[in-house]
Structure 1
Amino acid sequence: MTIYSLYIFDRHCEPVYYQDWHRTRPVRAPPPTSFKPGVHRLPPSQPTDTSTAANGNVRESIFSDNRTSLISNGTTNSNNQKMSLPKGLPFDEEAKLVYGVILSLRNMVKKLSGRDEAFTSYSTSSYKLHLFETPTNYKFILLSDPSSDSLRFVLRQLYVGPFLEYVIRNPLVKVDSRVEGVDNDQFRSAVDRHMKGLSMFN
């Protein structure tokens, strides 16, 4: 089983944290106007695609198709031909899609099954999405390969462990901020260690 990426959304429906591991189509950097510091470690993209291609940040979303575009920054292969790099959704647009899917499916489950049922996951041929909601309306979302069992317990462990320790109980972290994400190196390192320590990580 493979774990692809982790999103955390606050009660304002805003992404406050993102980290990925095994994505074959990693997220593309957002434009500077949509860049919220602390959410991820991707630098904001420049006005043209060529600048992001130079440092490898032109990436493709798992929610987009396989279209590619030629990069005109001089990136060449051994035959001095232009190389084609994948181009997909910027991070801010992908985050909106992820949250929109969660909101829509959660509302559908409540309407069809009643208030006692809860939406926790869904699968496609490419990935499986796992959801854990906290009492304070933070939403932890994990994308893994479609063959995985439920990983809500992993998200709950992240919440009761690193998130409470390094985010909620840390007075230096601006919780519920509308202008920046969870910018905490200890939390990011703890999440990385926790995920890589799982038997199903790779």
Structure 2
Amino acid sequence: MTIYSLYIFDRHCACIYYQDWHRAQRPKPAVAGNLLQGVARAVTQQPTTALSQVEFTSPRNTLNYSSGVVVAIGEPSPAAPPIPAKTPPVSTVPMSKLSFDEEAKLVYGVIFSLKNMVQKLSGRDESFVNYRTSGYKLHVFETLTGYKFVMLTDPVTDSMRFVLRQIYTGPFLEYVVRNPLIAMDSKERGVDNEHFRQATDRLLRSLSIFSKNS
């Protein structure tokens, strides 16, 4: 048993937080403009590096900046040996075919549809809390203020509703709701607070079902 990912949606249907652990596929960054800022660094499209911030190295440097000695044109500076290019680490985890904003919309759409179906078939007193497929199990906890905490786990995992409630009554209230620097319901930013992220990570890692090999 294991935990795959955690989503938090606000009452405007927008994904305001995301975190994952044992996903089989890396989330593909969201399309620019289709996701709130501050949801998660892993799924936010990174801006292109500004031209002024790029460091250039040319063999035609004519001045040694450390000593002020003029160097012959066409020769590299003796005090500035060429810096080998750094090769970015290659991840062995395959990337999802969907961009994260599309993925989040699908997750919310499933919750919305199943919640409506349960209410229409069973009445207002019944609530949708989870469903299971052959590949995963989806768990939902909704607060009175309309925030939806959604977790994807291994399909054989027991209900995680109590854990989602713990995240809400613990780290979320402490580091998000009571944090004056976070604008709730801003419709512009997510809640990627580092203290909240670390506290949520510690809480889930302390569970016996967190281990990928359990």
| TM-score, with structure 1 as normaliser | 0.79
Q: Which residue of 2 aligns with 1:123?
A: 132
**Secondary structure in structure 2 of the residue aligned to 1:27:** strand
CA drift of 1:183 comes to 2.4
Q: Which residue of 2 aligns with 1:24?
A: 24
Would the alpha carbon gap of residues 9 and 35 (structure 1) be closer, same or farther in structure 2, given more than 3 Å must change? closer
Contact 1:58 1:86 in 2 (8 A): no
**Secondary structure in structure 2 of the residue aligned to 1:32:** coil
Structure 1 unaligned spans of 5+: 48-53, 60-84
Per-residue deviation, residues 93-114 of structure 1 (Å, max 9, x unmatched): 0000000000000000000011
Q: Which residue of 1 aligns with 2:174?
A: 165
Q: Which residue of 1 aligns with 2:4?
A: 4
Would the alpha carbon gap of residues 148 and 177 (structure 1) be closer, same or farther in structure 2, given more than 3 Å must change? same
Would the alpha carbon gap of residues 58 and 135 (structure 1) be closer, same or farther in structure 2, given more than 3 Å must change? farther
Contact 1:128 1:143 in 2 (8 A): yes
**Secondary structure in structure 2 of the residue aligned to 1:12:** coil
Structure 2 unaligned spans of 5+: 49-87
CA drift of 1:147 comes to 0.2
Would the alpha carbon gap of residues 55 and 104 (structure 1) be closer, same or farther in structure 2, given more than 3 Å must change? farther
Per-residue deviation, residues 121-163 of structure 1 (Å, max 9, x unmatched): 0000000000000010100000000001100000000000000
CA distance in 1, matches of 2:92, 2:104: 16
Would the alpha carbon gap of residues 87 and 134 (structure 1) be closer, same or farther in structure 2, given more than 3 Å must change? closer
Would the alpha carbon gap of residues 115 and 193 (structure 1) be closer, same or farther in structure 2, given more than 3 Å must change? same
Counting only pairs closer than 5 Å after superposition, residues 18-57 of structure 1 correspond to structure 2 as 18-42=18-42, 43-44=44-45
Per-residue deviation, residues 14-60 of structure 1 (Å, max 9, x unmatched): 0000000000012110122224221112240679xxxxxx776897x
Q: Which has the larger radius of gyration?
A: 2
Q: RMSD of aligned C-alpha atoms?
A: 2.0
* Pairing partner for 1:96 from 76, 98, 105: 105
Contact 1:9 1:139 in 2 (8 A): yes
Where relative contact order (Cα < 8 A, 6+ residues apart) is larger, the structure is 2
Q: Percent identity?
A: 58
**Secondary structure in structure 2 of the residue aligned to 1:34:** coil
CA distance in 2, matches of 1:129, 1:7: 11
State the one-letter code of the partner of 2:109. G
Count of matched residue pairs: 171
Q: Which residue of 2 aligns with 1:198?
A: 207
Contact 1:4 1:22 in 2 (8 A): yes
Contact 2:9 2:15 in 1 (8 A): yes
State the one-letter code of the partner of 2:159. S
